[in-house]
Amino acid sequence: MRNASSTRAAGGPDPRSPRGPSSPHFLHDFVYLASQSPRRSQLLQQIGVAHERLLPATHEDADALEALEAHRPGELPADYVQRVTRAKLQAARARLAAVVAAGGVAAPVLCADTTVALGRTILGKPADAREALATLRKLAGRTHRVLTAVAVHDGRRTHAALSVSHVRFAPLPVAVLRAYVASGEPFGKAGAYAVQGALAAHIAHIEGSHSGIMGLPLFDTARLLQAAGVRTALTVA
C-alpha cells in the first residue's frame, strides 16, 4: 500500500489546462481495485490506469461473502449483479477507511461483478466438473447474456454502470465440452467459460463489450474513472 508521503499535493486546477465541463481536473493518479481477478487488473493496465489491490483481510468472514453472492429467490440477473457490486463496494470502503487510518493514501476504489444469464436464470461459477459440463451444455447453440456491474467511489459519491452483452455459441459436441472442462478453465468463472480462452473458437457472435464479458467493460469503466477524477493513459487535462 502507498503511504501518505508518496502522494502528490492536490492543489487547484493546472494553469496549463483550462478547466471546464469537458475537461475535468484529475486529482488521482491511481485507484484501489477491490478484486482478486487477474483479468480486471490486466484490463486496467490496458487503459493505463495505475492501481493497487484492496483485498479482504484475513479476519473478514468468507461465509459472509458466500452468502452475499447467493442468489435470492426471484432475483433478476441485472438486480443480482448490481446488488452484489454495491455490497462489495461497501465492504471495500470499510477496508479503505482502515488503510487510510493507518497512514495509507486515500484514493477512489473500484469494484465489479460479472454474471452470466440464460433468460432469467443466473449461471454462476461451477462447483465441480459435472456442474461445469451441465452449464456449458445449456449454453451450446444458444444466445446468453453477460452482465457486468461496475462501481467507483471517489470519497464523496458513487459512480456506477451496468454493461450487458449478448454471446452466441455455435452448437458444441459433448466431446468438445468434456475436453474444455478437463482443461480446468471453466472453474472460477461465471457461466463456466472464459471469453479469452480456448472456447472462444466456438463463439459465433458477440454483441456488446468484449472487455465486459472478460469482467470489466472498459468503455463504461473509463468514464466512471473520469467522473471520479482518475487518470487513464489518454487523459488530456
| Catalytic residue status for 29 | no
> 210 by DSSP, 3-state: which?
helix
Arithmetic mean of pLDDT over the chain: 87
Residue type at 35 in one-letter notation: S
Q: How far is CA 66 from CA 51, 63, 145, in A?
A: 26, 5, 23
**From the CB of residue 54, how many other CB atoms can be counted at a distance below 10 Å?**
22
Burial of 176 from C-beta contacts in 10 A (0-12 / 13-18 / 19+): middle
Domain boundaries, position 78: 27-227
Q: What is the DSSP string of 53-68?
A: E-PPPTTS-HHHHHHH
> Using H for helix, E for strand and C for coil, what is the string for 115-137?
EEEECCEEECCCCCHHHHHHHHH
CA distance 50 to 39: 15
Residue 103's CATH number: 3.90.950.10
Question: Looking at 63, 79, 113, 154, which residue is catalytic?
Answer: 113
83-92 residue pLDDT tens: 999 999 999 9
User: Once rounded to an integer, what is the mean pLDDT over residues 26-36?
Assistant: 91
| CA atoms of 143 and 30, how far apart (whole Å) | 37
Tell whether 137 is covered by a domain.
Answer: yes
| CA angle centred on 128, ends 132 and 60, rounded to 5° | 115
Judge whether 178 and 133 are in contact, CB under 8 Å: yes
Residue 230 is predicted with a pLDDT of 94
Strands 31-33 and 109-118: parallel
Q: How confident is the model at residue 1 (pLDDT cuts 50, 70, 90)?
A: low
**How far is it, in rounded angstroms, from Cα 55 to Cα 37?**
11
| 233, part of any domain | no
**pLDDT value for 161:** 98
Residue 209 in any domain: the answer is: yes
Higher pLDDT, 204 or 36: 204
pLDDT confidence of residue 14: 37
pLDDT at 233: 87
Q: Is residue 88 part of a domain?
A: yes
Decide the pairing of beta strands 51-53 and 121-123: unpaired
Portion of the chain with pLDDT greater than 70, in percent: 84
In a domain, 78, yes or no: yes
The DSSP symbol for 103 reads T
Structural domain includes residue 177: yes
- Do the domain assignments include residue 87? yes
Number of domains in the chain: 1
In a domain, 9, yes or no: no
